[in-house]
Chains A and B, each alone.
Chain A
């Protein structure tokens, strides 16, 4: 079955473990992401969210467990391999080059060329036009594609980084704290972008500390504590207080949370 038509979860993780020496960073993490849905991953600092993401995107190898991507078992060895499979990650540093223009960043290391052999030059016009068309469709407050990223606001940069991740026919976009450093209005713009990618049927996995935001934008939420998944709910079925309780492990919620799981 082709990747685009596979009906099950885009990403399915079961029992992932990872240790650094004596430290058990992941001790049985589960996760699944559906096409056209926003999945939130929450948990306290040190709960293992970042390690889980790094294992999923090939930055670090994991020790044990199963990862299925579009129904196929997957074990990545590099972020480049993840990208070629259609998994894009927007890290907090955004990986934008400030002195390059918006369109140069959009096409960084995927440049369009014209001409033959060693004389293949950049097809600047086509890259500018495609960046323009792609971003125009996604962004409300569209910065000029010819301006340097240095001139853009934090929210515009975040939008460009997400917009870049969502191009190239990606099926899963992972975002680490996409709005942590933004003001209210810019945060709203990024959340609109997330909603638009959701309508485009892209699977999105968002790490966020902002539980209000999780309730606003996410369809499902996975909660991690001490390296394992302790809860999984539809956001429609849960309150913010219950999530907080599960994150902190208050009122003995570990077994209770398990009972509630989907």
Chain B
């Protein structure tokens, strides 16, 4: 049996747009906060650094991880940067997971950030669209909300869903974020509302791309996050009671252009003709199944086996699509699953109690790490200390799922965390 890998501490900065903190200071802050939770953790423990940063466009700085790394004093310590679209954070975690699993390292720092507030929102949208095929979709005026909307439109029709069904996820995650003072929603727009967001608010918000409105979409952010990926031996000795075991890890891929996956041989031979079409996230299903297999979770019992999840709600619609890809519901019961609010606090599988991308924010390179850290807080009972109250604390959670998602579903990772 190969050795087990743990997440043994971590923290995120507030996420905001704009925010006034340079990347090296963001990561420094996160490390200091991690040391408050894990007093045994010292900079000298770090044997390898995996950096997680998506777009060098935002900072007009190539290899920005070099700035962060030497600022932390870590010269000589091996480092590299992972860039994998919106799944950059999840992919960095995956790389660190592999490195500990291999036996090469015992303590790895994973540090990510994005500085999207360096440009205007519409310019930022266009920058991100450079991660679609610029020879085709991006030139045609496409940006990610538009691609996702085209996929969501067909998904909505084929699964008997409505705009209001999607809006439930938008409302849930933003209202969860109110309990998290680091979240962009709480720091920003919530200060005007001072009340729970409603379905009506979502329905009345401005059209982004039908069926998605402004509140169906995640936020553009500046922010950073850090976590420690360690061997179980190190975690037991230095982070007793403050670590989780990564019992499952999956990473999968799909086409860059959503229109290329209607008949892709790699998928049709695995899952049958007509899958994933432009409606399903096949890479989410595959990486989820791989993580479930590793963790010994049967697909049809996944919903019962998982107690809390932090997933990549770049759009309200994609959160719902992810429910299906992860086998929590199927075409026959997806409507009831959504309408019965099974993923709200108090439901059988609370999703995004940390606020998710729609509530907490989405500084791409930091996002997947933030999701992992939020899930870790739940499973180590740190949530009541980290959030404003215990309202978003899932008591006695034993198993958590973390999901990170890129492109039009082009790269997706899933992790299963468990209490030791």
Q: Do A and B bind each other?
A: no
Chain B interfacial positions (CB closer than 8 Å to A): none
